[in-house]
Each structure stands twice: as structure tokens, then as C-alpha cells.
């Protein structure tokens, strides 16, 4: 299974130039009813293009590469590894509006572990693409499961979607929760309950 890039990405269609991107932004400004040549908007196409470079930086990164370096000197450690409350910012592929939330990742090692910063990087790479939350959750869990080959993987994401809170039905305060459970996290109810209990327990390090 390939988790590097979605179908229809710039690798398939050819990436527009920076000038073409800025021209498109000027077109949107005119379509919205304003004049892109007025003083307050002159620099907007450049600023928006630079912002898009940040928002969608995940297309230029290979998530698998972050997981390639693992450590086998774990002294037989085979208990659950959990990284919780990983804040992320993404954009929905339907309205290109922000998705803001937290991801919780766990896995049961199978003789090797990965640096915890790489788990956060994994969320970052997939998050900085046009997404739906269900796909984001599956991509994080699937890539970790494929590359690390652990005994099990669990991923839970809770996020708010501005395409729902600032337009359309306009329901602020609503969050969406998705999960992916693989291996022992799917097959063993006790493992799954332990993971959910850990991510829902209050942190003792909040004031550290």
C-alpha cells in the first residue's frame, strides 16, 4: 500500500508555476468582488501563495521516510507506546477550510521502536495535505503499521471542522472523533480499552 501521495497530486498533473498560482489568487479576489490592484491587496497573492506552501507542505514530504530509522536496543520492552495530544492543523478537501484537532497514536512494539518525534512528524506530513478526517486517520495508522510492523496500532483523532462551524449548518463547538485500530488493538478488547483509558486520563504533567 502506498501512503506517499494521493492520486491526482502534482506528481501526476504537473505543478503550476508560482506566477500561475498568484494569478489564480488575483482571479479569486476579483470573483469575490474586490480589486487585486488596490494598495491593501497588492501583496495578498504573494502572501497567500506562501501560506499555501506552509499549509500543504506535506505533499513534498515522504511520511515513510520518517519511520525508516528504528531502534532495536529496547531491552525486551514490549508494552504499549503512546503519544497523545499531538496538535495538528489540516484543510478539508471539500471546502479548503481548516481542520484543527489532536491526534493520539499508540503501538505495541515488535522488537523495535521509532523515535517519538517521528510519530508527530507522521501526523504533520499527512495533516498538511487536503484531507478528510477519516482518510487522515487511516493513513497515519496504515503507514505506521506497514513500516514498523508492530503487534498493533491504534490512532484516535478529535478535531473541529470550520467547513461546519463557520459556514453551512454553522454548529460551533462540535467535534468529530475517528479511530483506526489494527492488529492487537482491533483483536484484543483489553488492549483497546487500555489505549482509550490512557488517552482519556488527565495528564499529571500539565504544570511541568
pLDDT of residue 168: 86
Chain segment 118-149, per-residue pLDDT in tens:
999 999 999 999 999 999 999 999 999 999 99
185 touches 90 (CB < 8 A): no
How far apart are alpha carbons 122 and 117 in whole angstroms? 9
Give the mean pLDDT of the chain. Answer: 90
Catalytic positions? 92-95, 133, 161, 163
How far apart are alpha carbons 42 and 29 in whole angstroms? 11
Alpha-carbon torsion (37, 40, 43, 46), positive or negative: negative
Residue 91 CB neighbours (<10 A): 22
36 pLDDT above the threshold of 80: yes
Q: Residue 58's closest CA among 143, 181, 116, 1?
A: 143
* Pairwise pLDDT comparison (9 vs 201), residue with the higher score: 201
How far apart are alpha carbons 191 and 178 in whole angstroms? 18
Give the lowest-confidence range in 20-34, 58-72, 82-96, 172-186.
58-72
pLDDT of residue 1: 43
Q: How confident is the model at residue 205 (pLDDT cuts 50, 70, 90)?
A: low
pLDDT of residue 193: 97
Chain Cα centroid distance, residue 27: 30
* Pairwise pLDDT comparison (8 vs 45), residue with the higher score: 45
Chain Cα centroid distance, residue 11: 20
187 pLDDT above the threshold of 70: yes
pLDDT of residue 10: 54
Chain segment 57-110, per-residue pLDDT in tens:
999 999 988 898 888 877 888 899 999 999 999 999 999 999 999 999 999 999
pLDDT of residue 88: 97
Amino acid at each position: 500500500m502506498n501512503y506517499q501521495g494521493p492520486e491526482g497530486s502534482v506528481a501526476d498533473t504537473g505543478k503550476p508555476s508560482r506566477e500561475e498560482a498568484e494569478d489564480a489568487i488575483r482571479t479569486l479576489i476579483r470573483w469575490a468582488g474586490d480589486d487585486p490592484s488596490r494598495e491593501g491587496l497588492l501583496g495578498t497573492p504573494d502572501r497567500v501563495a506562501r501560506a499555501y506552501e506552509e499549509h500543504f507542505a506535506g505533499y513534498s514530504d515522504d511520511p515513510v521516510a520518517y519511520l525508516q530509522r528504528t531502534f532495536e536496543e529496547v531491552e525486551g520492552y514490549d508494552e504499549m507506546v503512546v503519544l497523545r495530544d499531538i496538535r495538528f492543523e489540516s484543510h478539508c478537501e471539500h471546502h479548503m477550510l481548516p481542520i484543527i484537532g489532536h491526534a493520539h497514536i499508540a503501538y505495541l512494539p515488535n522488537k523495535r521502536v521509532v523515535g517519538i518525534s517521528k510519530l508527530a512528524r507522521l501526523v504533520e506530513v499527512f495533516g498538511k495535505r487536503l484531507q478528510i478526517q477519516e482518510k487522515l486517520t487511516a493513513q497515519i495508522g496504515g503507514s505506521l503499521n506497514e513500516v514498523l510492523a508492530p503487534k498493533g496500532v491504534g490512532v484516535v483523532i478529535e478535531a473541529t471542522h470550520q467547513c461546519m462551524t463557520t459556514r453551512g449548518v454553522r454548529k460551533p463547538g462540535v467535534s468529530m472523533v475517528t479511530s483506526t485500530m489494527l492488529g492487537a488493538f482491533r483483536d484484543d478488547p483489553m488492549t483497546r480499552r487500555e489505549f482509550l483509558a490512557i488517552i482519556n486520563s488527565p495528564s499529571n504533567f500539565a504544570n511541568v
